[in-house]
Structures are given as C-alpha cells and as structure tokens.
Amino acid sequence: MASGRFGVVNGMSTVENWNLSESKTADSYVASNTYAGTVRGGGITRWSGSFNGKGAIPPVMPNESFLFEGYTAPDDGTEGSAGTVYGGQAIVSSVSINWDWTQNDILSWTVNFNGGTPAAPELTISTKTIPLDTTIPPTVSACGTVITYGADIEIPALASATLTFTAALSSEVHSGTQCYETWTPGALDWTLTANQQDYKRGVAGYPDLGDDLLLKVYTDQTDFWQLKFGKAQEYSGLTVDRSTGATISRTLNIAMQATDGLVIGNVVKPGDDPETTVYWGVTDTP
C-alpha cells in the first residue's frame, strides 16, 4: 500500500489529484466452434485521464499537447525520491474553471486529456524522480470577483459558475499507431454556466436570450477571462419552492459565439493583453 500524498504531475503547479484510465476493448465473437461462448481478441488500446488543482488559469489548455508524467509514490517512502511514474504524450480535451461564491472557495480548475499522439501513442511505466512543485500556492477566492457583459454590466446574485473549454479532438487508429487510439487537435468551443440566486428578467444585468455578448469573467478584482463573444442560450431551472421557502434560483447558460456578425472574436487569458496575445481568435483593434 502507498499513500497518494506525494503524487505530482510533471511541470504542473498546485495539482491536488490526478487519475488515469487504460483499456483494451477486444473484438468479440460467438461462432459455430465456440460452444455458444464468447471469444475475445485483438482490440484497440486507449488511455486518458485528468488532474485537478487550485488557481484561475489551468496550466494547459484544449488542443495543447504535453508530456504527461504522473508520479505515484516514492518507493522508499521519502518525498523527492524515485517512484513509479506513468507517462506518455497527451493532448488536452477540455478544461474547466470553477467559482463558488456560496462558500467563497479558492478558484479551481480541472484538466481532462486523451493519451497518445500519432508520433507517440504508448503509455509507459517507469521508475524516476519528478521535481517537487515549489511554486507559491494560489489563494484567490471567489469573493470580489464578478461576471460582466457589454459595457461592464454586472450579472447579479451569482452563487457559482463554471467556465468550460472543449476541443473536438479527432481520433486516429491505423497501421502506424500500433493499435493505439491517438488524437489530433479539433475545433474549439466553450460554455459558461452561471447559477443565480435570483429571478428577475428584462432589466439591466439580465441578458436577453439570443444576445451576442462580450463577457469578462473576473479571476480577481483586476484580471479576467475575456470571452468575445458568447451567445445567451438558456435560463433553466427557475425554482420557486413554497414548501420550504428556499431562495429562488436559476441557471444562465452561455455558449461560444465565434463572431457577432461583424468581427471574429477571441478568448484572452487573465493578465494577457488582448491587443497582442490571445488564446483563440484575433487580437483586439487598438
């Protein structure tokens, strides 16, 4: 037995946990010579995983390839010494960033990845040492952060929010991938789900459905994710509970809109200059 308290992912800061799944789904058949039993053989090897951490900006983003090296535990029980490492080239399929105003939680993120690229399909197991994470732990919490749209109109009464970026990765399995499923980049999408302890509509602060919005999702009182543009798609789950008197609540769902019909938009990470550096799209006009 081994504790997970020394686990890390190479090069990634403030990782709380990581997980990995491997499978080989074999071809199966029942034939005249199997006595009505199922025979299995062949099949494609797949591996994937995720890791979670604290902070406002995930260390990798969708469509980004990286070397995953998941350190499990030191063989001799001493932190910093050699231990079993699962490793391989991976590509990010999605990330999410979470805000929780009800608990004033520190902002957190989750990275999901698919394992194997055409050039390096395999997952390996080795014994090695991974450098310790010596970065300064983030402490920024939800309190003081807001979400705005348009001319900095604040969306009121936020209870929680999740910003999710996804990439529609393309799967490849052919003679050159050694019977591994491998992955290449795909189209980008994002969604913003905001839970409100509120019920109003038709006044400032409440986007109309169908609107194309310039959004700023703040990660502290200064920096923000710029989302240019988002389509207001749905107000869901409006709940009025007479029996308990619970606070009336609902969820606002907004999804990526690559253009407002006039210009192509962008996604800008907190702290970056939208006139020079974008994660996706075109830079803002000065």
User: Looking at the domain assignment, is residue 69 inside a domain?
Assistant: yes
Amino acid identity at 75: D
pLDDT at 155 over 90: yes
Q: How confident is the model over 214-264, as pLDDT tens digits?
A: 999 999 999 999 999 999 999 999 999 999 999 999 999 999 999 999 999
Q: 58 and 66 in contact (C-beta within 8 Å)?
A: no
User: Does 37 reside within a domain?
Assistant: no
User: Is residue 194 assigned to a domain?
Assistant: yes
What pLDDT was estimated at residue 25?
86
pLDDT digits (tens, 9 = 90+) for 98-147: 999 999 999 999 999 999 999 999 999 999 999 989 999 999 999 999 99
- Rg, Å, the chain Cα set: 23
Domain count of the fold of the chain = 1
- CB-CB neighbours of 125 under 10 Å: 10
Domain presence at residue 34: no
Average pLDDT over residues 29-48: 96
Q: Is 99 within the bounds of a domain? A: yes
Indicate the helix (H) or strand (E) that contains 25. Answer: strand 15-29
Q: Is 36 inside any structural domain?
A: no
What is the rounded distance in angstroms from the CA atom of residue 25 to the CA atom of residue 21?
A: 13
Does the structure show a pLDDT above 90 at 205?
no
Q: Where does the pLDDT of residue 157 fall: very low under 50, low under 70, confident under 90, or very high at 90 and above?
A: very high
Q: What percent of the chain has pLDDT over 90?
A: 93
pLDDT of residue 176 exceeding 90, the answer is no
**Other residues' Cβ atoms within 10 Å of the Cβ of residue 120:** 16
- Burial grade of 186 (CB within 10 A; 0-12, 13-18, 19 or more): middle
Question: Which pLDDT score is estimated for 116?
Answer: 94
Say which amino acid occupies 142: A
Domain extent at residue 256:
4-22+43-281
pLDDT band of residue 164 (cuts 50, 70, 90) is very high
pLDDT for 284: 97
| pLDDT value of residue 31 | 97
Yes or no: say if 237 and 251 are a contact pair by the CB < 8 Å rule: yes
- Cβ burial, residue 214 (10 Å; 0-12/13-18/19+): middle
In whole angstroms, what is the distance from residue 211 CA to residue 231 CA?
6
More confident residue, 165 or 202: 165
CA-CA distance, 154 to 158, in Å (whole number)? 10
Quick check: 204 pLDDT over 90?
no
Overall size of the chain counted in residues: 286
Q: What is the spatial distance between Cα 271 and Cα 140, in angstroms, rounded to a whole number?
A: 14
Q: Is the pLDDT of residue 1 over 90?
A: no
**Tokens 């107000």 sit at which residue?**
235
Distance of alpha carbon 37 from alpha carbon 30, whole angstroms: 6
In the chain, beta strands by DSSP E? 8-9, 15-29, 39-54, 65-74, 83-100, 108-115, 124-128, 147-149, 153-154, 158-167, 170-172, 182-184, 188-196, 212-218, 224-239, 249-256, 266-268, 280-281
For residues 207 and 213, what is the distance between their CA atoms, to the nearest angstrom? 8
The pLDDT score that the predictor gives to residue 159 is: 97
State the number of CA atoms in the 13 A half-sphere of 220 facing the CB.
11
Grade residue 74 by pLDDT with cuts at 50, 70 and 90. Answer: very high
